[in-house]
Chain A
Amino acid sequence: MTVPAIETEKLTKEYPYGFLNLKKKISLENLTMQVDSGEVFGFLGPNGAGKSTTIKLLMGLIFPTSGTARLLGKPTSNIEMHRDIGYLPEQPYFYDYLTAAEVLDYFAKFYDLPAADRKDRVRRMLRKVGLETAGDIQLRKYSKGMLQRVGLAQAILHDPQLVILDEPMSGLDPVGRREVRDIILELKNAGKTILFSTHILSDAEMLCDRVGVIVSGRLQGVGAPGELVGVQTHKMEILFSLAGTQNTVRLLSHATRTGDRYRLELPEAELYPALDQLRDASAKILSVAQVKPSLEEYFMHLVSADRAQASAVEVSGK
């Protein structure tokens, strides 16, 4: 049986605050989840939901109040686990007096790589993240997006089995985001396990085998994006364009218009009568598709439900 890449059980993190630290803020509550080997797992949640807290707990940067976590079968207290794990911190910041090549060489030293091998890897990584021409420039002159690329390079420098990326798309332009997506897919094809946190849902939908949604420190749902949003739907969508006798089409009052195109959403049972009507009006049918709720709708539903519950608790408390 293969060991899960990430396994947490009732992982909880509380931060004391207030006078004499008597009050406690729960950042993460009883997180139990599993990420299988070779999987791309997206960790979704609004700002302050507990994504970075979870990742820091996994990386051993902070310590749990209770619960356990194992990475590649080893407890997070085992320092040797880091040999097979790559990590990109949120909004990474590196020694700005060093060049990108020097930073990567510095980090490579901790994997006990020989100097020649280090040099070769640094060169390859800089090329991979599109910084081959900027490798000798000090990081204090780098933009946020360039720093993000350096962060990604140092995370995969040692060819790790498990890559944990905290908001990898943050600060990147569309080209940079596309490149990061390609790198994630490349890592997946190489059999690596990837966990990344994001609040850009389209990226998660595009890349992830499974996603976990965390809201207010609690894991609200885990599954494949398709499973979570539910493929069972009884609504259809017709896209069409129409020239001339528009007033004769009764359905137009229910359609939304963008330029010369119309979009009509209707129950599945009414699809064929509607198509007949459009054909009679000489409309050009552009597409007919099943309406699927997006991950964003699912996400918003969970966040709204959580906020409503929080408000209810607040009101009843008053």
Chain B
Amino acid sequence: MTHIGAIGLNTFREAVRDRVLYNLVFFALVMMGAAVLVGQISIGIEEIVIVSLGLSAISFIGLLMAVFIGVGLVSKEMDKRTIYALLSKPVRRWEFLLGKFTGLIFTLVVNTAAMAAGLFASLLYVKHHLERTDAIVLVAVYFVLLKLAIIVSLALLFSCSTSSLLSILYCAGFYVAGSFVQQMRTLRADLLGPFAGVMRWLSYLLPNFQNFSVTGLAAHGVPVPRTLILQNTLYAALYCAIVLAAASMILSRRNLK
């Protein structure tokens, strides 16, 4: 655990020193602009607009970070050959991988927490007070983090086996396909023939990102069922574990040329 923690902390330090968290300035500007604008053009739906916009921005910025930093976690170490010195220490390759995963997740948690704080500040500015139902926004933010964890694990898997460019494309493909899993499962067999079965089978392999999308509920203050919170948590944990195990198997067999 010490090794994983050390690698994770170093990954977080890299993100901080490479000024990755500067994206928060961009988010702050978007939210400030939205808060001022919403107050002027909308009547009665300020909260809906702010929450929808804020959650979308948190999700989009997090997605960019998860993909672009995630695909470089292993490949950058290989390209720059920093991995040689590290793996010549008593460090197992799966420890290296888990450390990288932990480090990026920690970076995303810090980043997302700061953005969530910005979102609540905008809500407070527009509504002049916060209500108990606003806590639903926190559940939506938590779901965004779970989604990002799955994307980071996929980015790591691709990063262990292919180039950065292809890894980005694969991640984007998985993200888009994972956002339409329900539709894939309900495709009509009479239209697609045997492909309907393949699509349904594929839909269970792909990460189901639709389950994590509760922006509409949060914007309207509708409570999220506790079973969904538990179900999504277990789903994300299991999916990440399987993908990371596969990534670890690939990396442990890879020649570091």
Binding site for B on A (CB under 8 A): 15, 56, 59-63, 79-80, 82-83, 85, 87, 89, 91-95, 97-98, 106-107, 109-112, 151, 154
| B202 CB–A CB distance under 8 Å | no
B2 touching A95, Cβ below 8 Å = no
Given contacts A95-B14, A97-B18, contact A111 B90 (CB under 8 A): yes
Complex: A282 Cα to B13 Cα, angstroms: 75
Contact of A89 among B13, B85, B89, B253 (CB under 8 A): B85
Contact B2 A109 (CB under 8 A): yes
* Pairs A–B under 8 Å by Cβ, sample size 7: A56-B256, A87-B84, A97-B18, A107-B85, A110-B3, A112-B2, A154-B85
Q: Is A89 touching B90 in the complex (CB atoms < 8 A)?
A: no
B257 contacts partner chain A, Cβ-Cβ < 8 Å: yes
User: How many angstroms from the CA of A59 to the CA of B85 in the assembled complex?
Assistant: 10
The 5 closest A-B pairs by CB, nearest first: A87-B88, A110-B89, A97-B17, A89-B84, A62-B255
- Mark interface residues in B1-37 (1 if CB within 8 Å of A CB, else 0): 0110010001001100110000000000000000000
A59 to B86 CA separation, bound complex (whole angstroms) = 11
Identify B90's interface contact among A15, A83, A106, CB under 8 A: A83
B256 near A62: Cβ-Cβ < 8 Å:
yes
Given A91-B81, A95-B14, A110-B90: 5 more A-B contacts, CB < 8 Å: A62-B256, A94-B82, A107-B85, A110-B3, A151-B85
Instruction: Judge whether A61 and B89 touch: CB under 8 Å.
Output: no
Task: Say whether B87 faces chain A, with CB atoms less than 8 Å apart.
Answer: yes
Which residues of chain B are near A109, meaning CB under 8 Å? 2-3, 6
Is A95 touching B82 in the complex (CB atoms < 8 A)? yes
B18 proximity list for chain A (CB < 8 A): 97
* A89–B90 CA distance with the chains assembled, in angstroms: 16
Find the A residue at minimum CB distance from B80. Answer: A93
Q: Which residues of chain A are within 8 angstroms of B82 by Cβ–Cβ distance?
A: 93-95
By the criterion CB–CB under 8 Å, are B14 and A97 in contact?
yes
Q: Which residues does chain A contribute within 8 Å of B89, judged by CB atoms?
A: 82, 107, 110-111
Instruction: Determine the chain B residues whose CB is within 8 A of the CB of A98 once the complex forms.
Output: 10, 13
| Contact partner, B92, options A62, A79, A107, Cβ 8 Å | A79
User: CA separation between A110 and B99, bound complex, in Å?
Assistant: 12
Q: Distance (Å) between the CB of A6 and the closest chain B CB?
A: 15
Shortest distance between the CB of B198 and any CB in chain A (Å) = 27
B228 close to chain A: CB less than 8 A: no
B224 at the interface (CB under 8 A from A): no
Which of chain A's residues have a CB closer than 8 A to the CB of B84?
Answer: 56, 59, 61, 87, 89, 92
**Closest residue to B17 on the A side, CB-wise?**
A97
- Chain A residue nearest in CB terms to B14: A97
* Chain A residue with Cβ nearest B81: A93
Which of A59, A107, A109, A151 has the most C-beta atoms of chain B within 10 angstroms of its own C-beta?
A: A109
Interchain CA distance A97-B81 in the complex, whole Å:
15
User: Inside 8 A of A97's CB, which chain B residues have their CB?
Assistant: 13-14, 17-18
Say yes or no: A110 contacts B13, CB within 8 Å: no
B238 within 8 A of A: no
Residue in contact with A87 in the complex, picked from B3, B13, B85, B256, CB distance below 8 Å: B85
Q: Which residue of B10, B17, B81, B257 is within 8 Å of A106 (Cβ)?
A: B10
What is the bound-complex CA distance between A266 and B89, given in angstroms?
55
Taking a contact as CB atoms under 8 Å apart, the answer to whether B255 and A110 are in contact is no
Contact check, A110 vs B10: say whether CB atoms are below 8 A apart: no
Q: Which residue from A59, A91, A112 sits with its C-beta under 8 Å from B88?
A: A59
Are A94 and B14 in contact (CB-based, < 8 A)?
no
A277 CB to closest chain B CB (Å) equals 61
- B17: chain A residues at CB < 8 Å are 97
Name A94's contact: one of B3, B85, B255 (CB within 8 Å).
B85
CA distance A109 to B256 in the complex (A): 23
In the assembled complex, the CB of A73 is this many whole angstroms from the nearest CB of chain B, namely 16
Asked if B255 and A85 make an inter-chain contact with CB atoms under 8 angstroms apart, the answer reads: no
In the complex, B110 has a CB within 8 A of chain A: no
- In the complex the two chains form, what is the Cα distance from A79 to B255 in whole Å? 16
Question: Once bound together, how far apart are the Cα atoms of A15 and B255, in whole Å?
Answer: 10
A106 CB → nearest B CB, Å? 6
Residues of A within 8 A of B90 (CB): 79-80, 82-83, 110-111
B14 contacts which chain A residues (CB < 8 A)? 95, 97
Most buried by B among A60, A92, A110: A110
